[in-house]
Every structure is written in structure tokens, then in C-alpha cells.
Structure 1
């Protein structure tokens, strides 16, 4: 009996998928010999960024999109770090893949191209025929303008100076904006965050299983409920705080390189977070206090499609669904299979914000004050704890 058309299509799609995302045992170990290949697979993405800053390239960008997406996914999932201590790099390269996939989709489907504030076409300011001033470009850059343009667009996340970044919350700067004092303050911040992260990491590793490369659960079943959940809460809070220090540390390091080596302006590097511990509503936490580096990623992957399907509510839910899948698909690369506990937590943030909106409409008051802060802490410190259970499948 000959196979049906459905079976033929399923087999073809499965083979194509496994060509780009092989089973874990079929992936290529990253060595000095294979390391260049993932970088080469990102060349079409950089070219896409270049085209997005050039006029009349819409059709070319659309045609380039499939090979760009295949290259990004292959770079993330065909190549694997096999040393257990480096397994987190598999997670990181898949997070990068999701971000660049969202960027590629935006570059391809934005017909006019990616515009800076004040531009009507790439490089053309409204009312002027001369090229637009490059907002973030150093005055003495050492690479050619076309390459700098592509690299700048490929690396910008919050979109400072770009049209897609309008409306994103930018924390108030607390450092002096003169170059040398700014670098000194950033260096002190980097050292402080590095030491605090190192301290917390050392403490977390003292808990059995939690700090090992193999991983484990923050819940110890041999303990009675009260000490079990007290310990899990402590580990959870320290882990979240470590992530916060890690964000700041890495951002400080990149800022130091950009300002001191690449001669970027200090105004291009505002703080990455805005005092997350002070959030008194989940709306404030996600929209202002937490980092906004992935805002556009989640809008492109979930928010904009959701709005097309169900308006503003669909945009809200779609954004958080994309956030959940973003985190879980990256964890898949670490060889643990799929466990949608993380996806569910982030997806539920949409209904949580809806509840806050309903509260405001019913009571006439926003969620806030010390009650609002307890509400935020209960969600982040208690509601998020199931994410600390490891999937061993």
C-alpha cells in the first residue's frame, strides 16, 4: 500500500526539520575546528540588516528570509557544547537565535526598511535630501559606514534612536555623562556586580544538586513542608538576584567596551534595569522596572500576530506566550526535553495584567503601594517557584 500524501508530507517536513535541528545525539560538537561554522551561518542575517538600511530592497529581503532563518536555527541547534560545565552556552546560543529570528522577520516584512527617528526612508531625514545623521555612530569609527550601519542595527535591542524603540521605557541615568567619570562609574558598577554575582553563585552551589552542571530541584522531598519551602524560596530569591546582577555585569562590560574602545557616546548606554525591587504592580514590573532588552523580540514573535488575531488583548497574550516559548525552546537545547512549566508561568502573566486592569476599572484605583508590592513579590517569589523543578526527560 503506497503512503498517503499526508504521510509523504509529514515525512518530508520531519526530515527537513531534523536537518536543521538534529536529535541531540546527532548534533555536531563545537571544537576549534567546527567553531567557525555557526558564525558563518549568521552572515545572511548581517546582510539582511545591511539591506534593511538600504532603500528599495524589500523584495530582496523577502527572498533572503528563508535562508537567513535556516542559518540561524542551524547555528543554534546543529552545533552543541558537549562539556557539561559549558551546557549553559547551548542555552545562550538558542536565546540569541530567537532574538535574531525576530529581528530577521522584522527586517524582511517592514517594507520601507528599518528607520531611525526622523527618517522617512533609510538614511533620509524628512525635509532633507542629505543622508540622516547616524544617532549612535561614534565620531571616529574604525569600520566602514555600511558595515557599522548593519552591525548597529543587528545589535540594538531597546532601539534607542530607532522608530521601533519609541515608547520603550528608559531608566533615568544616575552616572555622570562626561566620558571619563562615566567610565569610572561603570567600572565600579561592573566590579560590584561581578563580586555580588560571584558571592551568590558560591552560596547557591552549597545547596545539593542545585549548583551542579547536571542540575536538580530546589525542592528537597526529604524535608518537611515548612523548611522545604523556606529553603526553596531562599534559593529562588538568590537565583533571581543573581540573574539581576548578571544582567548588570554583562551590560556594564559591554558599555565599557563600547564607550572606551569604540568611542560610543555615554548617552547611548542608559541603565539596563530600573530598580525591579520597587515594583508595586506586575504592569510596572514588566513595562518599566525589569529590563526591556527583549521587548521587541516578544512583540514580533507573539504580540503583533496576536493583535492581528484578537486586537489589543491578543497582543498582550501573544507577547507573553512568545516570552514563555522563548525561554523553553532555549532550554530544549540543554538536552532536558520540553517542560512547559516555564512557558505556563510567562503565559499567565497576560491574565495577571488583565486582572490588574479589571481591578482598576472596578475600584477606580491602580494596583500599587505596599499591597501592590506584596502582590508582585508573591507572584515572583512564590508563583514562579515551580520553574525550579528540573525536567529529567
Structure 2
């Protein structure tokens, strides 16, 4: 991956934004179906055709592999939805122009209803970005009835400047934590490559080996969570600081951490998987539910989770079958 590949990045991004913007317009079903194959092919080409092979940078390729699965599932949702993507209370996509997250805020701004065709090109672009960023479905019809857990806000949403400062401080703190933990993990021999290995090779006896392995897994989890917080804070700064969205449009992403969660259900189902829920349901849950019923919804979602991780590893050179 080099700067010379930037046209591929721009083409993929614009195709996805166009597909998302059309999903917010009525009567665009067949046009979205026509664009959908191009969005999928461009995403696959960008992800699996241009990668970082250097060991210090292959983590970026791993993240790109995860992102490609998420993007493709989002593209399928956008392209295959018969009536487009609706916000809560809409009958026709594009009627409500306030951010979807504001529709479920405690003190939401006044709804603004406009004819979808009256939007400017910039407004269409921003509308597409909003759809692409709607991972949890907060304020959207596809997220209704799923008991989305919105963590309590700890920042001052009444003062945009103070909100941005608090978000920036959080981004810096999480970045430093992630960087420190990433350096520590990279010092462990054999960690960070797709060639295979084991975390149980360290230690003189069974107790030491399992203790060290558990510690490595715990540190890796903290590393991933801090990266998630950093990226979300960065997106919040762009959305609120650059685009001018209201702070309530960016509620906290996770309310607990590994050290503060009271149960696996609280951390895994109510926080962590809120972000990936729609992806797992689209990829495996809904198709398996159509065949096997309610039990298929559960097994299909877990299968989709496995596909996400396996294909992300495939990007950095691991065989998708797990063989070497």
C-alpha cells in the first residue's frame, strides 16, 4: 500500500458514500442494486489487493480486513433494503434531517422535515456519512426493537467547546494506553505474525504457562478496547468539531471496561457487540434464521463473528482454513 493507491481509496469511499446517500432517497432501489456489486468489488480489491507486508505495519492490514467485512455487510444492507434506510418516525427516507442519534436523546432538538429532493450535494454527502457511521442503529428503524444499550454520557453535551476538550483528552489518554500496550505485546516473541505459534510456550510449569498466556490475552483485550475508544473519539472530534454535529449525536460507545464490568453479558453483549450486532445479523443471523428458526439466528451470528476474525487474518497471510 502506497500513496499511489490513493485513487483506489477515493473511488471505494465515494462509491460507498453514494450508495449510503441513495439509501436515504426514495425510489432508488434499482439504482442501489446496480451500484452494490461495484461497492463490494472495490472494497475487496482495496483490502486484499493492497496490504502492508512489513511486520510493524501488518496490524493495519488486520484492521483493514475487519473493516472490509463490516463495510461489505453495510453495503449489502444499503443495497438490499427495499425501502432504503429509515430514521425513527420516517415513512419515506430523507424526511427527517436531524442526526438519527438526536431522535432518542433526552432533550432532542426540534425535528426538521424536508423534501428529500431539496437537499444540496453537500447535504447528500453528509447524509451518506451518517448512514455509514450508524453501526449501532441508534435512532434508526433497523435498530429499533433490539434494546440498544446507550451508555450514560459523562461529558458536557451542553457546551460544545468543553465537550470537544473532554473528547480530545480522552482520545489522547486512550492512544497513549494503546501505544504502550502495543509496544509491550510486540516484544513477546512470535506475537503479531500469521505464521502460527502458541502463547503457552513461556514458563517452566503449567501454572506459569497458563498465567502468562492469560495475562497476554488480558493485555491484548485492553489494547483493543483502548484503540476502539481512540478511533471513536477521533470520529467524534471530526463529526462535532469539523462537520458541526451536535454532541448528542455521538454518545459513548462502551460504558464499561474489562476491569469494571460485572459480568461477561454486560461487557460482551451490552457493550462490545452492540457495535458489531448488525454486521453479525446481516452476515449470518438473518440468513440462518430463515432456514433454522430462532436458534439459527444465534448460531448464524456466532458464525459471522468467526468469519470476521478468520478473513481479517487472511489479509495478513494466514490461510482461511487455519492450515499453514
TM-score range, shorter chain: 0.7 to 0.9
31, 36, 39: which one aligns with 1:60: 31
Tell me the secondary structure at the aligned position of residue 120 of structure 1. coil
Q: Which runs of 5+ in 1 are unaligned?
A: 1-29, 125-131, 341-390
Q: Provide TM-score, normalisation by structure 2.
A: 0.85
Q: Distance in 1 between matches of 2:264 and 2:295?
A: 16
Task: Rate the CA distance shift 1:268–1:82 in 2: closer, same or farther, 3 A.
Answer: same
| Kept after mapping to 2: 8 A contact 1:157/1:293 | yes
Q: For 1:249 and 1:280, how far apart are their aligned partners in 2?
A: 23
State the alpha-carbon separation in 1 of the partners of residues 291 and 148 from structure 2: 23
Structure 2 contact 99–130 (Cα < 8 Å) conserved: no
Deviations for 1:338-383, whole angstroms, at most 9, x for unmatched residues?
Answer: 355xxxxxxxxxxxxxxxxxxxxxxxxxxxxxxxxxxxxxxxxxxx
Which residue of structure 1 lines up, in the alignment, with residue 116 of structure 2? Answer: none
Q: Does 1:134 align with 2:98?
A: yes
Q: Which of 1 and 2 has greater Rg?
A: 1
Q: Answer yes or no: is 1:90 the counterpart of 2:23.
A: no
Distance 1:56 1:307 in 2: 29
TM-aligned CA deviation for residue 153 of structure 1: 1.1
CA distance 1:258–1:46, shift in 2 (3 Å): closer
Normalising by structure 1, we get a TM-score of 0.71
Larger mean CA deviation between 85-94 and 217-226 belongs to 217-226
Q: Is the 8 A contact 1:85 1:213 kept in 2?
A: no
Q: Structure 1 residue 244 and structure 2 residue 244: aligned?
A: no
- CA separation in 2, counterparts of 1:84 and 1:53? 41
Matching residue of 1:201: 182
* Greater displacement, 243-252 / 158-167: 158-167
Measured in 2, the distance between the counterparts of 1:195 and 1:31 equals: 26
Which has the higher relative contact order, 1 or 2, with Cα contacts under 8 A spaced 6 or more apart? Answer: 2
Deviation track 1:173-208 (CA, whole Å, cap 9, x = no partner) reads 111212122222222222222222233233334433
1:302 deviates by: 0.9
Q: How much is the aligned-residue C-alpha RMSD, in angstroms? A: 2.7
* CA distance 1:80–1:136, change in 2 (3 Å): same
How many angstroms apart in 1 are the aligned matches of 2:23 and 2:128? 8
Note closer, same or farther for the CA distance 1:33–1:211 as it changes in structure 2 (3 Å cut). closer
Do the aligned residues in 2 keep the contact of 1:189 with 1:252 (CA within 8 Å)?
yes
| Alignment coverage as a number of residue pairs | 305
